[in-house]
Every structure is written in C-alpha cells, then in structure tokens.
Structure 1
Amino acid sequence: MRFVLNKEGRRFQTVASKGLEAVFPISNVRREDRGIYSCSYQNRSEPFAVSSPSDPVDLAVRDPSLPRPSISLSPTGVTAPGADVTIRCRGQRRDVRFFLHKAGDLNPPRHMDPAGDGAEFHIPTVGRQHGGSYGCSYRPRSEPFISSQPSHPVQLVVAEPSYPKPNISLSPSWGVSLGGAVAVWCRGQHRGMRFVLNKDGRCFQTVASKGLEAEFPISNVSREDRGSYSCSYQNRSEPFAMSSPSDPVDLAVTDPSLPRPSISLSPTGVTAPGADVTIRCQGQPWDVRFFLHKAGDLNPPRHMDPAGDGAEFHIPTVGRQHGGSYGCSYRPRSEPFVSSQPSHPVQLVVAEPSYPKPNISLSPSGGVSLGGAVAIWCRGQRQGMRFMLNKEGRHLPAVASSGSGAVFFISNVSREDRGRYNCSYQNRSGSAAASSPSDPVELVVTDPSLPRPSISLSPTGVTAPGADVTIRCQGQPRDVRFFLHKAGDRNPPRHMDPAGDGAEFHIPTVGRQHGGSYGCSYRPRSEPFISSQPSHPVQLVVAGESGPLAPPCLTSHIIAGASAAAAGLLLLLVAFLCFRKTRARKGAAPRPSSTSPMGALKASAQQDPVYTSIDEGKEPQTLEPDPGVQGLTYAELDVQVLQAKRGKPAPAPESAQPSVYAAINRARGAPQ
C-alpha cells in the first residue's frame, strides 16, 4: 500500500511500502514540526480509495527552559492486584496541562488539567496490564505542542500471586554503629530471580541472583542509611510482575552515648514447657520505645512502650520454639532509627522432657575455705552433651563433655563464689532445649574468723539398733543456723535454729544406715552461704546386726569366714595403725620397717595380694572409746578386702556398704 501522513488535516508526506507499515522520519526537529499528525493508506492502483485516518498523535517539542515536573505513586512499592492507585504529577508553572506517559504504550497519553500545582491520575482497579514505567510532563495552554521535559520515571509494579512473599533480615540484626557494616538479606522461594530492595517505599538497589536469596551490603554505615527496608523479587522476563513485599525491617544506627539497658528473665534458669515467662528490659525512662530481639529470628523485633523505667515482654505458654538468646534495646521517639547498644544477652532454655534430670555434687562437699578450690560435678544419663552450670538463675560458661558428666572447677574461692548452684545439659547441636535442672547444691565458704563449734553424741559409744540418738551442736548463740553434716552423704545437710547456744538433731530409731562420721557448723543468717569451720567429727557406731558380711564387730580372736593367717595379718595391720596414730598424737613419727607389721605386709604383698588395696597413706578412722569397756577402741576395716578374702567379688567403690569395725583392747597390748 501507499501510506499518507497528514499534519493537522493536510497531506504532509507519502511513502510506498511493500509491508504492513511505513516510517516517516523527521530529522533536526524544529518548532514548526510540532502539531497533530494522523495517517491513512491507499492502494496504488486506486488512488482515490483511501482508508479512514488513524487516531491523531501529538508531536510536542520539548522546551529545556521549562522545569521538569515530579511524579509519585500512592500507594508506593509493590501494589496488590485490585488496588486503587493514584499517580500524582506536580510542576512549577501555572496555566498548564499535565500528560501521563507509560513506556511502550502506543496509545496517546492521558491528560488532565491541574488541581492546584499538580494533577492526579487514578487507576481504580490495578491489574498486571497496568504494571510498567510511568512519567509525566506538562504543556502551556498557550503553546499546546510545547512540552516540559518528562519527570523521572516511577515503576508501578503489580504483585504476582504465584510468588510467595520473601523474608528480609539484617546481619548483624541488633543495630549497627556509625562507620560499621551491615548486610540486608532477602530470601525468596524461586530461583534465578531479580531482587529489589526498597527503602522507605522507594527502590534502593537491585541484585540478580542465581539462588533463592540476595545480599545487599552496606559498608561504612552513615545516618542516611538508617530507615525502614523491605524487599521483593521478580522474574527477569517480567519486570513489572513481582512478589508482594516482605515485612519491613528497621536499620537502626547505634548511638554509643545512649547507656546500655539491662535484661532479666522471670523465672530464671531452665524453664518448664507451658510456663509463663516475662522478659524485662530496663533503661532510660524518658520518651523511648523498647525493642526485644531474638538471635536468629527473621521476624521484626517486638516493641513496647515503657512502664516506668522499663518494659515487660510476656511469653504466656513457653514451647521449644521460644528457646534462644534474647537481648533488648531502646530508641528515642524523636529519632526512631537511632538505637542504644543492645543489652547483654540472656538465655531462655526450655526443659526437654526426654532428658532425665542430672545430679550435682561438690568436692569437697563440706564447705570451702577462702582461697581454696572446689569442683562442681554434674552427672547426666546421656553421652556427649553440653553441661551448663547455673548460679542463682544465671548461666555460667558451658562445658562440652564426651562422657555423661562434666566438672566445673573454681580455684581461689572468693566470697563472690558462694551461693546456690544447679546444673542441666543440652545437645551440642545448639538447641535451646535442655534437661530440667538438677536439685540445687549450696557452695558455702568457710570463714576462719568464726569460732569452731563443738559436737557431742548422746548416748556415747556403740549404739544399739533402734535407740534414740541426739547429736548436739554448740557454738555462737546469736542469730545463726546450725547444720549437721554426715561424711559421704550427698543429700543436703539437715539444719536447725539454735535453742540457747546450740541445736539438737534427733535420730529417733537408729539403724545401720545412720552409722558414720558426723560434724556440724553454723552460718550467720545475714550471710547464709558463709560458714564456720566444721566441728571435730564424732563417730556414730551402730551395734552389729546379722548381714551378708558377717558380724560388724570383729573381736581380736575371730574373723568369721577368713583363715587364721589372714585374720592375724589383718589384726596386725589394725593394731599397727592404731599404734601409729597413738605415737603420732604423742609427737613420735611412725617408721615402718621390714620387721614392723606394715613392713611385713609390704613384704608379703606378692604372696597375699588381698592387702595391696590398703592405702598406707590414708589414716583409718579411729572411733571414740567405749566408756563401758576399759581401754577398748574401734578401727574401721576395709570391706572390699574382707569380701575379696572370702572369695566374693569386691563391691563397687560407689556402692553403699555397711561399715565393719575391729574392736581392739588397748589395755592388753597389741593382738598376737
């Protein structure tokens, strides 16, 4: 066909074409070229038969002296399908008409007379077809084909329902100091997308990614970088169809002049599932807002206005998902993106029902002197866990163990170390689920300035089974509490307030399990973990009952179930140890030789190994003399040695075994 270009109704130019279209180029445009154009076509063989003219198009010539207008979208960011969108254009000239352009649209631009200093173009029900790049310009009414330069473009992006909303997070997440660095991470669910970071509703940065996420690094952070960020993603082939924006995240810049707040948990320690937990943040009380952060949480931090000098964040029903490390900060209301430094973190540890409660013990267990050393043992029932020691609800450094227990050493004990401890354990994977805490144990620090109390038994000597025994402790009478200790007992000591200058502990029906070495101490009420030195020990000896080990009181002339030779050697050992202890009390150091009983035992160790388990360096327990028998005393014997001598398997060292004693009449001399 032959195409005809018309300008304002007059034929302007004709072009013959072999295809479906024709081009009319105008080079070196002049003001005279502005105007209204239309076109038509006709068959070359029928010059007087022509098509109807096209809709007109305006050729407007830009005047660089006219200021560029501005353009804005409402709402900003990614728009949901079906939303009502307003595009507003503003200029600086009166008596003009505004025109709205969409890139790539062949239709004539929409135009509107201004209301005030601008014009508003409405799109009542947005669809994917409305997405694109928009700009606007204006033209003086006196020169309708002279135009300002177009505004900078804005992007109308319509959310694509098939694209799930991404997640956004900051690293680090708890505020950044001026001059520091931060990364904004955007994570989607489709690979090979282009990610768009928006700041305060405006496109801030774009990154193409081959994976599911993109990083937007910001180095040397300035005050201008603070603000509210969100992100979205789009297919590279559909630039105006995009996911809905992520929830916003605030980039707050840390001001070191703002004091750091404090944080606390209630209840403290390991929390039972279903419990009600309160996290309290305390700091500046004036015109601020508090924020609660959880490490690793991609959701925006919870915030709350203060009540007094702090804010309380409640977790009404705790579950495993709530476990983790928490911190808080605050921001002045006048500068919502300026933050204090975060508080020191606290750990919310949730008890795991499948983890049995561990046991805890102290070594030594009866108190520690200032400057001494103590070991706190925590024993569980699972291998390869991480053990946590808690002091009065606060977590101390954890210890990883390849076995089923861990030891926490405290050297050079100070008054600050005293207190109540418990322990728990958790999987090394970093889970915030842990065992329920152990029963508590008290670390009591001995103060040498407190006088040592005294202790006495009533009745004295060997006690008949079933008797009523009273253990009396006497010491400082004023405002103290007395404690009764039994050697080897891992249970907490019994305690009692004094009556007069002492306290009486009653054992109403004595059994073999009550036998042992007892001592007592006292603690001032004002300092419940400061103790006096323990009293000198007393021995509660229970008269024998029939049992698996033979009679507990072995006289010098018989040891049931053992050979005469073995019995003689054993009694020689007992006699020698008692003799050595007597000599030691008188100042004469024992010197075992090859002719002494101990030397004979050493020499015969090869032939009779039952005695090799005797520890020469360990002083045997020597009990108080029985007042009813002149010169009679008792020495505790080794049950493992006796069992082995009888051909029976030796009991485990930890197992509870009744005590076995040999009665030695010192008035008759050493046994033969």
Structure 2
Amino acid sequence: MAPMAVALILGWCLVAASRAQQLPRPSLSLHPSQGVSLGDNVTLRCHLPRPAAWVELYKEGKWRSRKEMDQEQDAAEFSLTGIKQEDAVRYQCQYQGLEQPGTSEKSDPVELLVTDDRYPPPGISLSPKEHVEMGSNITIQCWNKKYGAAFLLHKDGHSAPIQHQEPDDGGTVTFTLFGVTPADSGTYRCSYRIGGCCLLFSPLGDNVTLEVIPRPAIPGDNGGASRDLVAVVVGRWVAAIVFIIILTISVLLVAQRRQMQSDERPGATSRSPEAVQFQVFPGDSEGLTYAQLQAVTPSTHPHGTSTTPEPPTIYAEVGMGGPR
C-alpha cells in the first residue's frame, strides 16, 4: 500500500506542476473572413499571448506546416493561395513557448467558408409582406431542391449567418422571425451548403427587404418615458407625505387619550380658573405701593355649607410713575 500511495502523490505533484506551467491558448483568425471564393487567397493569422519558439498550423486536426519565431513577434501568418474545395475546412494553431517551457493547447477552430460560383443561388420569399407593424411574425422561405444540404439566412451588416436550418424533402426551409422590432428591418439573403464536400457554399441569392413600422404613439402622450418617470416620483412623494400626516395624527390622538385618562383618575386636582391665584411681583428697585384687589366670584354652592371655598385673592402691582 505504501508504494502505491507514494506513486499517487508523485503523480498528483507532476499533474499540478504541468498545469502550473501550462501556456495560454493562442487564437486564430481568417483574412478575409468571409466572401471567399474558389481560387482566392486567404491568410490565417495565429495570435500569440506569449513569446514563441515556433508555431504550427493544423488542418482538420492534422499537422500542416510550422513557422520559426523570434521574441518580438506576437503573431504568425500562414498563406493559402488559390483556394480549392479541399481547403474549405476547419483550422487550428498552437505554439512552443520561448521563455516558458511547454507546448500550448490548440486554438479554437475557425471555419474557412468557400463559395463555389458554379452552383445556382437559392430562391427566396418573404411573408406576409415587406412592410409590417411591430410585434408581427415574419417568415422567410429559401429553396433549392437539387443541391441544398443546409440553408443559411444572412442579413446585411452581419458577418455571420443569423440562422441555419436543414431543408425538408422538397428542398425548402422556412426561417421565422418572431415579434419583429425596428431592429429587424434590413435586407436578407440565403445561401446553402453544397452536399458531399467540405465547407463549400452556393453564392448568395436574391434579397428581400423587411421594414418594421413602429407602433403609433398614443394621442396626447407627448411626454413618453420621461413623463412616466415624473409621475412615479411624484406619486412616491405624495404617499410619503400622507404617511407622515397619518402618523402625526395618530401620535396626537394617543397623547390626548392618555391626558384624558390622567385627568379622570381619583384625586386629580382641578384646574378650574376659580382656583387659580395670580401674584405679580415688583419689577424694579424703586419703592412702589401695592393695592390688593379682591375679585368676588359667585359661589355655586348653597348657602350655609362649610365647603364653600374662599374667594380667590388676586394681587396686582400698581406703579406710581411720578416723583415721591
């Protein structure tokens, strides 16, 4: 068991070391990337993330050629002249590190699509019509019964096909655009892959033009989205103000109820004006005379009872402004 454990540990260490030294993958591009026909010239460019000692090009997974590199180069170029049918395949590249030992993984594959002008272009039609409103569903049909193996839908301004589909038994495909918007407006064409060989395609066929008409604005709605935003903000402010008012009223009602409960308790002193005595004290240092004013308040109690309170005495200050 011990030798087996040691072997496992050593194997794990070797795998970890190889992963730590693994070089980043390169990337491969085509120039030109589209519109290549038989007989044209194409350049494949392998982009290097690290200095490389050499770069190799692979065609359908098989080695094709190698280029020696120096430290200053960050890309290697491979030229294909006089493109033939068998050149319309997938390509990859990889490199040997110059400063860091090891060989990188192969790049993601790129496809060299080649057009063969000897084949007839496909037919195309658009339904229901070329001018439609937003939200409509549009179908584009393409057909070529004799040669079509797979059809591609192209839109002007896009470097790659936007859809692809296998044809039915009659050699026809139907591409559907659901809920179209103004962004779907444009010119469309079809091509098809020629069955039996490589990445060989027919020329682009005739075009159809789609125009998506925006929905008319609602009458009286001149503000658009900005007005909707203002309405939302105002609504939230109004809701906040109403909440504050309700909260304030609730607090005041609770305070008033507590005050009423406190006044109704036994032994609570009455705050009748008849039981309040006011006294005013002199406000300066000069000798002033005081007059005692007595306010007689009619009693509400029957005569002869001993519980009648004494009339309150109110003191007032009279200032004599003249000389003494």
Higher relative contact order (CA 8 A, sep 6+): 2
- TM-score, structure 2 normalization: 0.49
Structure (1 or 2) with the greater strand fraction: 1
Judging by fraction of residues, say which structure has more helix.
2
Higher radius of gyration, 1 or 2: 2
